[in-house]
Amino acid sequence: MDSSDLVEKRIKRCMESSARSVAASAKSISAAMAQSQVATRTQSDAMAQLAREANEARERAVDLNQKLRAEAAQAAAVAQAQDAAAAAFYRQIDSVKQLSGGLQELQRIQAQVRQAKGRGDISQGDYLAL
């Protein structure tokens, strides 16, 4: 074998080695890209789930806020009705005090006050004051 044959064999071996190295690198890059795609998909799914959960939490907060507002409005209406009932009883008591023989009338009003308290038409504080 002459030196040109040796050089040719070395070049051929070098090319084969380079081809194997390139193929291994390509395979490694392909595997890394596949892993990256899986990780990206997983992260995307997790972000979508997080967005859904955040939206659900926001909707629950809005619903709770509406419920609290409705309850506050209802409580205000009940308090206003109780105040009106108590004021009416105060007016009755004041007018009876001005009448002679008002004891029986006061007892009748007292019975009405007890009934109103029992129904929840007046508050405990107003009942005690009356």
Domain that holds residue 22: 3-129
The three-point CA angle 31-38-43 to 5° equals: 145
Amino acid identity, residue 90?
Y
Q: Radius of gyration over alpha carbons of the chain, in Å?
A: 45
Domain tally, the chain: 1
The helix (run of H) or strand (run of E) holding residue 123 is none
Per-residue confidence in pLDDT tens, the chain, 130 aa: 678 888 888 888 888 888 888 888 889 898 889 999 999 999 999 999 999 999 999 999 999 999 999 999 999 998 898 888 888 888 888 777 776 566 777 788 888 888 888 888 888 888 778 7
